[in-house]
């Protein structure tokens, strides 16, 4: 496929697309969907407002034509979307797409991992914030122990999927788990991504004092392990990666609070109900669902998406202050995906 390369106002190309397929989740993690906000009466999107798989495929194909090479499926919990392997197969067959991955809490992988692999999925990122059953159950808000996630990890590996673990670190909550998680992943030859606690949305009670920075986590690791830097694999790679010396096992850091990577951000996001977002921290979406449903042609959709990206100037993490946090409209992570 011939691609039309587009750049935003800061000359950043469009390379990655994150697609939220559902706004629901079977967990209530404190940093994403706290149970006191997302309770039994919370109004999630009705099915009619969700993009159909055919609509997702159509938009994704256009994004690929405009330069996207990698797609990641997110949620909510994407594995709650019925027949997700069907969508994975549709997307994996797009001409010009090099990679398709999935972010999940992992508990549904034992029954879906093989089907996802057969459909063309290449990799999964599985969220696991603690190895302590009681603490993990408290964090996920559903008292789910570590066992079901470990079973999901094993199922993904057995299916032949690439596996990375994501750990959001919050001071005073699970920072005591930094070293146990490192040892667990090192022993299982799994790449662990430590993620700084981020001020996404407005419901998780974020405070800067709760952030354990990349440098602080790095220093804790260095007390136990020798680690050496690994070169970035591609332009716009989010994680800063290191390797345990004498092994092929990597450990990475997502440092969007303490060490911003806005200058090389190549990601656009598509919400479950068809809103395009140009930044995880920018709550001003651009409708594409209704535009399609009103009869827009592919050329018109291409023009709209290109215009949205060409006018993108987001660099929230570079500019993060108390004032910008207070004055900027934000969207919840469960709606837009991570």
pLDDT in tens, 185-198: 999 999 999 999 98
Three-state DSSP state, 17: strand
Looking at domain 16-336, what is its CATH homologous superfamily? Aldolase class I (3.20.20.70)
In the numeric block, the tokens 């159950």 are attached to 137
Task: Single out the residue of 165, 53, 77, 160 nearest to residue 113, CA to CA.
Answer: 160
Q: Is the pLDDT of residue 323 over 60?
A: no
Task: Single out the residue of 284, 273, 271 nearest to residue 314, CA to CA.
Answer: 284
- The whole-number pLDDT of residue 200 equals 74
- The whole-number pLDDT of residue 3 equals 83
pLDDT in tens, 94-130: 999 999 999 999 999 999 999 999 999 999 999 999 9
- The whole-number pLDDT of residue 32 equals 83
Phi and psi based region of residue 206 (left: phi greater than 0; alpha: psi -120 to 50; beta: remaining):
beta
- The whole-number pLDDT of residue 117 equals 98
**Cα torsion through 90, 91, 95, 100, rounded to 10:** -140
Q: Residues 301, 59: contact at Cβ < 8 Å?
A: yes
Average pLDDT over residues 65-91: 97
pLDDT in tens, 258-305: 888 888 999 999 999 999 999 988 888 999 999 999 999 999 999 999
In the numeric block, the tokens 């909510």 are attached to 76
Classify strands 123-127 and 240-244 as parallel, antiparallel or unpaired.
unpaired
Q: Is the pLDDT of residue 325 over 70?
A: no
The string of DSSP codes covering 24-62 is --S---TTTS-TTTS-TT--PPPGGGSPPHHHHHHHHHH
Higher pLDDT, 261 or 160: 160
Residue 338 pLDDT grade (very low, low, confident, very high; cuts 50, 70, 90): low
- The whole-number pLDDT of residue 251 equals 97
pLDDT in tens, 24-67: 999 999 888 888 889 999 999 999 999 999 999 999 999 999 99
From the CB of residue 7, how many other CB atoms can be counted at a distance below 10 Å?
14
Q: Is the pLDDT of residue 242 over 70?
A: yes
- The whole-number pLDDT of residue 201 equals 66
Task: Please provide the distance, in angstroms rounded to a whole number, between the alpha carbons at the two ends of the chain.
Answer: 28
Rounded-to-integer distance, Cα 185 and Cα 221, Å: 13
Q: Is the pLDDT of residue 203 over 70?
A: no
Mean pLDDT of the chain: 92
CA distances from 294 to 21, 197, 291, 300 (A): 21, 40, 5, 12
Q: Where are the domains of the chain?
A: 16-336
pLDDT in tens, 212-221: 999 999 999 9
Strands (E), the chain: 16-20, 70-74, 99-104, 123-127, 162-169, 191-196, 227-229, 240-244, 250-254, 267-270, 275-277, 286-287
């Amino acid at each position: 496929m011939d691609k039309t390369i587009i750049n935003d106002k800061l000359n950043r190309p469009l390379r990655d697309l994150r697609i939220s397929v559902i706004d629901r989740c079977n967990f209530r993690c404190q940093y994403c969907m706290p149970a006191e906000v997302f309770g039994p009466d919370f109004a999630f999107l009705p099915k009619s407002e969700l993009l159909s798989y055919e609509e997702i495929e159509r938009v994704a194909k256009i994004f690929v034509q405009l330069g996207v090479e990698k797609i990641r499926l997110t949620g909510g919990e994407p594995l709650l979307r019925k027949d997700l392997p069907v969508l994975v197969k549709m997307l994996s067959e797009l001409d010009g797409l090099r990679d398709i991955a999935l972010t999940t809490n992992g508990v549904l992988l034992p029954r879906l991992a093989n089907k996802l692999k057969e459909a063309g999925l290449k990799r999964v990122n599985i969220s696991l914030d603690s190895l302590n059953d009681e603490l993990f159950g408290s964090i996920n808000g559903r008292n789910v122990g570590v066992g079901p996630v470990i079973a999901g990890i094993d199922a993904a590996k057995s299916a032949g999927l690439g596996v990375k673990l994501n750990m959001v670190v919050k001071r005073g909550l699970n920072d005591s788990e930094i070293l146990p998680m490192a040892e667990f992943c090192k022993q299982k030859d799994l790449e662990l991504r430590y993620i700084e606690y981020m001020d996404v949305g407005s419901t998780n009670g974020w405070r800067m004092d709760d952030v354990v920075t990349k440098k602080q986590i790095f220093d804790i690791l260095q007390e136990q392990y020798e680690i050496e830097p690994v070169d970035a694999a591609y332009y716009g790679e989010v994680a800063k990666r290191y390797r345990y010396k004498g092994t092929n096992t990597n450990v990475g850091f997502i440092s969007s609070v303490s060490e911003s990577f806005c200058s090389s951000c190549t990601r656009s996001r598509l919400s479950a109900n068809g809103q395009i977002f140009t930044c995880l921290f920018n709550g001003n979406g651009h409708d594409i669902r209704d535009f399609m449903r009103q009869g827009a042609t592919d050329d018109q959709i291409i023009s709209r998406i290109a215009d949205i990206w060409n006018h993108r100037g987001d660099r929230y993490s570079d500019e993060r202050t108390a004032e910008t946090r207070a004055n900027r409209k934000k969207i919840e992570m469960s709606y837009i995906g991570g």
